[in-house]
């Protein structure tokens, strides 16, 4: 009988596993709680109005449509029954879905960690999903609208203060783009407010931005951000916040900053499915909630269950796209080898380097021992990211949108504010004089 392979998660790890099984004598079911394969590294461009969501989130069903032995299901997995070999999930309307398997691949990724301060989530949203990015886009753009109608200078300053917590690649990319929005793209569009006045603050608990990068690249990034008008505050932690302010503790002691926008880009926590697998196999998760796996990505005592990507700890690899993609592809090969009666080699990682954009046509890249900055790094970054986007239509669409909005002009074509989300945030805010923030049009 043909083996049934169930893949939980159609992100980088899961999709690569599915693709690696193309043509194999197996029936693959990939189950995801979203209907799309998300290219997370470009989420910040959705959040800042550069790209529309569809270009970085093609429908999973469409992505695998040519693979005859694979199907996609939209369902939220809540149980992995390793004894009965069944995955249990809820369909979109809540109905139970049961997926029996012979081989299971779990690639459920990670979400934000507020390091024990879970109440921060209400005041400083993170960015992990398309919904998060759209929510942030609404939040960021609507603050400029509020500044335009505010008459009190102090209140206007609060609407124009943006604080990003965490100076990893996501935090750096976000502040770079918010600075470009405020200082380059938007000034011509507003009549009352001068968006140059926007204050953009990047907080980092460590002593340098981009903590995993080489010191030369860190120093370049900090200089570049400061030149673009970003206030970089190192050795500084967020210790408290509410809807209108954030309290930070840095080398000069505590300080409360009035700011209507706070964005969390600091911590990562593995999917709860990692903990579930650990509980069922007697394994110990690490501080980020990741489950350790065997050198072939299988679980101890369960050679038929594999876990890959952000939710696993393997050989000290970081939670970034390349390990997830390579592990997913590798597990597909292990399954093929098993069918052919061969024993697979342990997983070996091929380090292709790291990179991050800083702002207008500028990036840092560290690949194969070569450290590059500026326009060359930006060109490398753009090439790699377009290459890894799924589908030619999305690649061409992204290139066209970048050319129109960034390379040959300063525009952001995707600046829609959908009030359903913006309303939530603004309704919580209060004007400096204590009046409630203006009410947005009601949702449809």
Q: How many other CB atoms sit within 10 Å of the CB of residue 61?
A: 18
Looking from the CA of 314 toward its CB, the CA atoms found within 13 Å total 26
- Does 21 bind ligand FAD (CB under 6 A)? Our answer is no
- Separation of alpha carbons 51 and 38, rounded Å: 13
In the block, tokens 């197996």 appear at 26
Q: Candidates 7-15, 185-193, 390-398, 408-416: pick the segment binding ligand FAD (CB under 6 A).
A: 7-15
| Identified catalytic residue from 158, 173, 228, 244 | 173
Question: Taking contact as CB under 6 A, which single stretch among the options 34-42, 204-212, 250-258, 297-305 is the one that binds ligand FAD?
Answer: 34-42
- The residue number whose beta carbon is nearest to ligand FAD equals 11
Residue with tokens 């990670």: 110
Q: Does 77 bind ligand FAD (CB under 6 A)?
A: yes
From CA 213, how far away is CA 196, in angstroms rounded? 30
Q: Which of 324, 363, 380, 426 binds ligand FAD (CB under 6 A)?
A: 324
The answer to whether residue 31 forms part of the interface with ligand FAD (CB under 6 A) is yes
Q: Which position among 24, 26, 32, 417 is part of the footprint of ligand FAD (CB under 6 A)?
A: 32
Binding segment toward ligand FAD, per CB under 6 A, in 51-59, 234-242, 313-321, 419-427: 313-321
Tokens of 331: 């597990």
Nearest to 159 by CA among 146, 168, 141, 177: 146
Within 123-152, the residues that bind ligand FAD by CB under 6 A are: 127-128
* Closer CB to ligand FAD, 200 or 321, in the complex: 321
Q: Does 326 bind ligand FAD (CB under 6 A)?
A: no
What secondary structure does DSSP assign to 191-246, as a single string?
Answer: SSS-GGG-EEEEE-SSSSSSTTS-HHHHHHHHHHHHHTTEEEE-S-EEEEE-SSEE
Neighbour tally for 444: CB within 10 Å: 5
Exactly one of 5, 6, 11, 257 binds ligand FAD (CB under 6 A); that residue is 11
Residue 180 CA to residue 214 CA, distance in Å, equals 25
The CB-of-220 to ligand FAD minimum distance in angstroms stands at 17
Give me the residues paired with residue 246 across strands.
241, 257
Closer by beta carbon to ligand FAD, 147 or else 181: 181
Nearest alpha carbon to residue 412 among 177, 214, 221: 177
Specify the stretch interacting with ligand FAD by CB under 6 A; choose among 147-155, 254-262, 319-327, 429-437.
Answer: 319-327
* Structure token digits, residue 27: 């029936």
Is 173 annotated as catalytic? Answer: yes
Which of the residues 150 through 179 are near ligand FAD (CB under 6 A)? Answer: 169-170
Residue 271 in contact with ligand FAD, rule: CB under 6 A: yes
Per CB under 6 A, which region of 11-19, 134-142, 192-200, 396-404 contacts ligand FAD?
11-19
Residues 6+ apart with CB under 8 A from 133: 43, 44, 46, 47, 53, 127
Interaction between residue 12 and ligand FAD (CB under 6 A): yes
Q: Are 77 and 108 in contact (CB under 8 A)?
A: yes
Q: Which of 30, 46, 293, 321 binds ligand FAD (CB under 6 A)?
A: 321
14 is an interface residue for ligand FAD by CB under 6 A: yes
Q: Is 159 helix (H, G, I), strand (E, B) or coil?
A: helix
| Angstrom distance (rounded) from CA 376 to CA 154 | 41
Q: Does 425 bind ligand FAD (CB under 6 A)?
A: no
Q: Which residues bind ligand FAD (CB under 6 A)?
A: 8-14, 31-34, 38, 40-41, 43, 76-77, 107-109, 127-128, 169-170, 271, 273, 309-310, 319-322, 324
Catalytic residues: 173
């Amino acid at each position: 009988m043909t083996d049934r392979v169930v893949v939980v998660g159609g992100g980088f790890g899961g999709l690569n596993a599915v693709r690696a099984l193309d043509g194999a004598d197996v029936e693959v079911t990939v189950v995801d709680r979203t209907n799309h394969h998300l290219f997370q590294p470009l989420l910040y461009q959705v959040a800042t109005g550069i790209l529309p969501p569809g270009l970085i989130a093609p429908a999973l069903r469409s992505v695998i449509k040519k693979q005859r032995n694979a199907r996609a299901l939209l369902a939220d997995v809540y149980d992995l029954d390793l004894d009965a070999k069944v995955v249990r999930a809820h369909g979109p309307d809540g109905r139970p879905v049961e997926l029996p398997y012979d081989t299971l691949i779990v690639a459920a990724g990670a979400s934000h960690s507020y390091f024990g301060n879970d109440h921060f989530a209400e005041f400083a949203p993170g960015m992990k999903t398309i919904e998060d990015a759209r929510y942030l886009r609404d939040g960021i753009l609507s603050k400029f609208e509020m500044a335009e109608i505010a008459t009190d200078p102090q209140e206007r300053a609060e609407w124009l203060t943006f604080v990003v917590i965490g100076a990893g690649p996501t935090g750096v990319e976000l502040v770079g783009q918010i600075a470009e929005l405020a200082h380059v793209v938007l000034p011509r569009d507003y009549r009352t407010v001068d968006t140059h006045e926007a204050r953009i603050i990047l907080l980092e608990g460590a002593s340098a931005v981009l903590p995993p990068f080489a010191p030369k690249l860190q120093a370049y990034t900090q200089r570049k951000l400061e030149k673009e008008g970003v206030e970089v505050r190192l050795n500084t932690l967020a210790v408290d916040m509410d809807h209108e302010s954030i309290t930070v503790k840095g080398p000069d002691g505590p300080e409360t900053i009035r700011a209507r926008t706070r964005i969390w880009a600091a911590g990562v926590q593995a999917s709860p499915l990692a903990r579930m697998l650990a509980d069922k196999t007697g394994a110990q998760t690490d501080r980020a909630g990741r489950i350790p796996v065997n050198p072939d990505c299988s679980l101890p005592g369960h050679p038929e269950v594999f876990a890959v990507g952000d939710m696993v700890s393997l050989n000290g690899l970081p939670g970034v796209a390349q390990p997830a993609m390579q592990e997913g592809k590798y597990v597909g090969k292990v399954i093929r080898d098993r069918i052919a009666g061969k024993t697979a080699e342990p997983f070996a990682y091929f380090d292709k380097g790291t990179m991050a954009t800083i702002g207008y046509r500028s990036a840092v890249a560290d690949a194969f021992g070569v450290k590059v900055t500026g326009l060359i790094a930006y060109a490398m970054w753009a090439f790699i990211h377009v290459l890894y986007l799924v589908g030619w239509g999305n690649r061409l669409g992204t290139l066209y949108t970048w050319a129109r909005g960034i390379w040959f002009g300063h525009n952001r074509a995707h600046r829609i504010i959908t009030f359903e989300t913006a309303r939530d945030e603004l309704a919580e805010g209060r004007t400096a004089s204590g009046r409630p923030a203006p009410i947005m049009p009601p949702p449809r």
